[in-house]
């Protein structure tokens, strides 16, 4: 890299594709880093160029969770020990965000634990996108830039979807605020899907609050994991008389059997970002 560049961008293993796109947009090369793996699964990271006195951006989503998080923590520690001026963690998909509170006795608050680990490792700032729960920003004692995929989705929605007959929907009550912002910006009506769960990743019942008969419906969510919620919502909306059902989600986790469920569902199109 040029010595005149005030910042450097590095990537973890599984976010290299996104980091390269970021660097192409910035007009700078991706920083050189070596990640060495040992036979027992341990790995180490090292920067292959000087980062002394530079602002270092480390791009790494935490999915799949454990290895990518540990890799990021080692990248942060190595940058701190190499005398970087500042260390900015760019985590488009922040894992463990569903564990943002004690919803029953004797459970961990995973999101707070991850925040503490990142802070202890030495980050000066966090850039992330569409957190599952906005209050996670308060778990950090460093500045958090919380970006929204809506800035990208809304342009696509206005250009590609039938706005004259469109209705915004949320697949669960927790996403009401997110869907409401889309509804207000586009000037469209909104309906709510209310789900009840038997256990994690398994939806027991889905009810629709609002009228969707004869409308095209766009389901808005922050993430799709096994796709149980989004497909049950889409099927329930279609059964209530909707013409066509679309979905947009920021983080396409797509754990099995998500693809199979999406293909068999009433969804016509799923719009995603490349955060993962």
CA geometry: angle 129, 26, 91, nearest 5 deg:
25
Q: What DSSP line would sit under the chain, residue for residue? A: --TT-SEEEEE-GGGHHHHHHHHHHHT-PPPPEEEEE-TTS-EEEEESS--TT-EEEEE----SHHHHHHHHHHHHHHHHHTT-SEEEEEESS-TTTT--S-SSTT---HHHHHHHHHHHHT-SEEEEES-SSGGGGGG-SS-EEEE-THHHHHHHHHHHS-GGGEEEEESSGGGHHHHHHHHHHHT--EEEEEEEEEETTEEEEEEEES--TT-EEEEEEEEESSSHHHHHHHHHHHHTT-S-EEEEEEEE---TTHHHHHHHSSEEEEEE-S--
Active-site position among 80, 102, 184, 195: 195
Q: Which residues are CB-neighbours of 32 under 8 A, at least 6 positions away?
A: 47, 48, 49
Q: Confirm if 135 and 104 have CB atoms less than 8 A apart.
A: no
In the sheet where 166-170 sits, what is the strand order? 202-209, 190-199, 166-170, 216-224, 245-252, 267-272
Establish whether 195 is a catalytic residue.
yes
Give catalytic residue positions: 195
């Amino acid at each position: 890299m040029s010595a005149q560049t005030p910042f450097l961008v590095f990537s973890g293993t599984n976010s290299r594709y996104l980091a390269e796109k970021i660097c192409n947009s910035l007009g700078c090369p991706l920083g050189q880093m070596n990640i060495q793996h040992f036979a027992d699964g341990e790995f180490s990271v090292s920067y292959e160029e000087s980062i002394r006195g530079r602002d270092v951006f480390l791009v790494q989503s935490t999915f799949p969770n454990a290895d990518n998080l540990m890799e990021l923590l080692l990248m942060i520690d190595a940058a701190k020990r190499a005398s970087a001026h500042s260390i900015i963690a760019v985590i488009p998909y922040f894992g463990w965000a569903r564990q943002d509170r004690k919803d029953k006795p004797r459970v961990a608050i995973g999101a707070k634990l991850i925040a503490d680990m990142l802070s202890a490792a030495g980050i000066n700032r966090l850039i992330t996108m569409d957190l599952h729960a906005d209050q996670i920003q308060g778990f950090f004692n460093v500045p958090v830039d919380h970006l929204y995929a809506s800035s990208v989705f809304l342009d696509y929605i206005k250009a590609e979807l039938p706005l004259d007959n469109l209705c915004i929907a949320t697949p669960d009550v927790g996403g009401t605020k997110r869907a409401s912002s889309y509804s207000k910006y586009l000037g469209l009506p909104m309906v709510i899907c209310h789900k009840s769960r038997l256990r994690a990743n398994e939806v027991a019942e889905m009810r629709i609050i609002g009228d969707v008969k004869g409308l095209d419906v766009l389901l808005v969510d922050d993430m799709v994991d096994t796709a149980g919620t989004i497909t049950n919502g889409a099927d329930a909306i279609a059964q209530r008389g909707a013409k066509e059902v679309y979905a947009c989600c920021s983080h396409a986790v797509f754990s099995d059997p998500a693809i199979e469920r999406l293909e068999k569902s009433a969804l016509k199109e799923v719009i995603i970002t490349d955060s993962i």
